[in-house]
Amino acid sequence: MRRTIFTDEHEMFRAAFRQFVAKEIAPHHLEWEKAGIVPRSLFAAAGANGFLGMSVPETYGGGGVDDFRYNLIIGEEVQRSGTGGAGLGITLHNDICLPYFLSLATEEQKARWLPGICSGELITAIAMTEPGIGSDLASMGTSAIRDGGHYVVNGSKTFITNGINADLVITAVKTDPSQRHKGMSLLIIERGMPGFERGRNLEKVGLHSQDTAELFFSDVEVPVENLLGTEGQGFVHLVHNLPQERLSIAAAGVAAAEAALDWTLDYCKQRTAFGQPIGSFQNSRFKLAEMRTEIDIARVFVDRCIEALNDESLTADEAAEAKWWCTELQKRVVDTCVQLHGGYGYMLEYPIARAYTDARITTIYGGTTEVMKEIIGRSMGV
């Protein structure tokens, strides 16, 4: 289906990033899957080639172009190549963490952090989830008590993407533990701060090359200068940035579904059964047609949401619609594609098998499907 949201400049960027993936990511992906982490040098290489911080002003070393279509292209190409686990750290860095620095950091903080974020020297993560609370962020127990010129942080976080590699962790804390939402703030906790420890690199069902860690804080003294935004407004800051995060996940879901379909279509044309290609059977054709249709429909909505994000009109409920629908679509499509591959679809040497395990988390992280439906329902006045 022809898409109209991209210009020639976007397609040039796509070609450059596709080449980067082919050279710097794809040859090493299976090695990184076994290691459970990508090397920090991947971020440095991405930064050196202009694939980090595209929306950061040139003054701070960025691309100076505030256009989420470039982020979209990176996410699509990562999924097309079947290296979603390895590429997730880059999309989290660009799509999810960076907006907090751009919208909330002081000029001093921007000068201190943005150049390293753009070069890949400073890898970012965001730490919200804690053991036992899931989506109920207001119940978090990680505290940050002001003591003169610093906050003393105690608590823990879990399921933190980039958790092992991260240098700057946007950490949701309770600066007023007596309050729920109004007591939350955001602090930047940095690599090497005494009392900041990382737990194990968690073993996941999929996305094996993406490091995901537990973080522990024991009397970590964080300078007041590392407060991001306004004290007590952490929940408001999170809510403001969540639509872009969810749209990024939705776009990746559509791209992953399309990649799975492309691999499966090729397989169905080549694989024979009973003397003919399996794609020529009516059931196969109908399944392929259904997936093609749903992917095209989802992509139109996501592209429209990208345009709305660029002109600052994207709403939280629209992002929630995109997030839950596209990730549930990803799961359905990948599952059907595994079925069409037959036994080979269960072999990890085939990208469709890895896509199957990678897809399962997408309806959970960034807000579960059930939470997305709750957001949409409330927007309808019910």
* Structure confidence by residue, pLDDT tens digits, 114-124: 999 999 999 99
**pLDDT > 90? residue 335:** yes
Model confidence at 207: pLDDT above 90: yes
CATH topology of domain 235-379: Butyryl-CoA Dehydrogenase, subunit A; domain 3 (1.20.140)
Structure tokens of 357? Answer: 């395990």
d(CA 357, CA 145): 41
Q: How confident is the model at residue 2 (pLDDT cuts 50, 70, 90)?
A: confident
Spell out the domain ranges in the chain: 8-122, 125-232, 235-379
Q: How do residues 172-193 score in pLDDT, each as one tens digit?
A: 999 999 988 899 999 999 999 9
Residues 291 and 297: their CA atoms lie apart, in Å, by 10
Q: Please report the pLDDT score of residue 338 as a whole number.
A: 98
pLDDT digits (tens, 9 = 90+) for 124-148: 999 999 998 867 777 899 999 999 9
Class of domain 8-122: mainly alpha
pLDDT at residue 322, rounded to an integer: 98
CB 203 within 8 A of CB 36: yes
The pLDDT, as a whole number, for residue 132 is: 81
Give the pLDDT band (50/70/90) at residue 105: very high
> What's the mean per-residue pLDDT of the chain?
96
Which architecture does CATH list for 125-232? Beta Barrel (2.40)
The predicted model gives 144-162 an average pLDDT of: 97
Catalytic residues: 245
Asked if residue 360 lies in contact with residue 271, where contact means CB atoms within 8 angstroms, the answer is no
Among 264, 337, 329, 340, smallest CA distance to 299 is for 329
Task: Spell out the alpha helix ranges (H) of the chain.
Answer: 8-20, 29-35, 40-48, 68-80, 84-91, 98-104, 107-119, 234-270, 282-310, 316-341, 351-359, 369-379
Residues facing residue 188 across a β-bridge: 170
pLDDT for position 138: 78
For residue range 259-281, list pLDDT tens digits in order. Answer: 999 999 999 999 999 999 999 99
Q: What is the pLDDT of residues 38-81, one digit of tens each?
A: 999 999 999 999 999 999 999 999 999 999 999 999 999 999 99
Largest CA distance in the chain: 79
Residues 6+ apart with CB under 8 A from 59: none
Strand partners, 197: 216
